Every structure is written in C-alpha cells, then in structure tokens.
Amino acid sequence: MIRTTKRRDPERTRDTILRAAVSEFSGKGLGGARVDAIAKRADANKRMLYHYFGSKTQLFLAVLEHIYEEIRSKEEALHLEQLDPTAGMKRIIEFSFNYYIDHPHFIPLLNSENLHRARHLRRSKSVRELHSPLIAMIQDLLRRGARQGVFRDGVDPIQLYISIAGLGYFYFSNMHTLSTIFGADLSDPKRRHARRRHIVELVLAYLRP
C-alpha cells in the first residue's frame, strides 16, 4: 500500500499543478500569469513546478494539450456511431456549444495562444493526432447521412467542424460587446438556449440535400 501511494503522489501533484495553471493562464493569459501564483494555487513550491514541467512556457503547452485531450475524450464518449446521422450531428453541435458554457477557461486559453500565433502548440507532438478521431466521427456521420439521403454529398468534415465550433465560439468570445451593442444579456440561459437551437437549425439546413 505504501509503495502504491508513493507511486501515485507524483501524478496527483502534477495534476494539481496543471489544474492550478489552467485557472491562472485562463484568467491572465501567458504574459500575465505568474509561476508564484500557480504554485500558491496548487499548494506547491516553484521548485516542484519546474521539476514537473521545466518552465512557464512548457507548463502553458501542457495546459493546452490538457484542454484538447479533455474535449476530445468527451467527444469520443458521445458515441456518435450509435446514433442516426441527424441525431448524431445534433448531438455534436449541442455538445460543442455547451462545452463553452461548462468549461469557461477554454476560450480564454485559446485566445491567449492565438495571440502568440500558436507558437507553443506547434511544438506539440499530440494535438494534431487528437483531432483525427473527431474528424473521422464527423466524416462517418456525413457518409451515413448521404447514403440515407438526409445529408447532401461533398461536405468537407474539417470545414463543417470549423463552422460548428466558430458559431458558438464567436458568441461566447464576444458576449460582452454583443450584449452591449444589442442591449441584451446574452449570458441569460434563455438566450443561450435560443442561440444553440439556432445553430442546430442552421447547420442541419445546410446539410440537407
């Protein structure tokens, strides 16, 4: 039992630091985040942080890889292959939209990395591979839908995914300015629900033969 606990401690410590870093980087960006603050959040010392991650920028990359691994694992758990094409497409659209609500750190972290022109993600050995299963799932829905006559032929799964993600991303990343411009609280659950329904209808209409 003692050996098992010792073996698990490093994993638990690393995970705690990683979760603390998610909060710090999403709140302040790479430039504003401080290693001292991350260590304090994780109840660890800086030496331990550098031991596990090497540097602040390497920790930031680990955070980016972590959030992509998290969303991809949740997408695979949707089991879209078990649903008919229309129901499966509706599920992935709603999941994408809801993910922004349930994981408010996701957009700020992506925004921060985009400011750096994906300089850190380009060093990742896993991020591109993580996207392959998702595109394959969407491709499967499109093929089955085309065979059944409910989707049109020739839809690019990558373009479709970018559109689905972008329709929700713009809403949440610009929520404050849009709310001010239109004089409406777009964070209100009823308005979020209406937006999600609109995106589902929009994408499914595009996919019809």
111 and 160 share one domain: yes
111 and 186 share one domain: yes
78 and 165 share one domain: yes
* Predicted local confidence at residue 96, as pLDDT: 96
* Predicted local confidence at residue 7, as pLDDT: 43
* Predicted local confidence at residue 5, as pLDDT: 37
Q: Report residue 192 as tokens.
A: 């979020």
Single-letter residue type at 200: V
Average pLDDT per consecutive 10 residues, the chain (209 residues; last block may be shorter): 48 92 96 95 91 95 94 92 97 97 96 92 84 88 98 97 96 97 97 98 98
Q: Report residue 181 as tokens.
A: 């411009």
Which CATH number characterizes residue 180's domain?
A: 1.10.357.10
80 in Cβ contact with 88 (< 8 Å): yes
* Predicted local confidence at residue 4, as pLDDT: 39
* Predicted local confidence at residue 167, as pLDDT: 97
Single-letter residue type at 14: R
47 and 144 share one domain: no
* Predicted local confidence at residue 132, as pLDDT: 73
70 and 40 share one domain: no
Which CATH number characterizes residue 8's domain?
A: 1.10.10.60
CA pair distance 85, 110, nearest whole angstrom: 30
Q: Report residue 193 as tokens.
A: 């629900």
19 and 118 share one domain: no
Structurally, how many domains does the chain consist of? 2
97 and 121 share one domain: yes
What does DSSP assign to residue 42?
T
Single-letter residue type at 114: N
| Residue range of the domain that includes 88 | 63-207
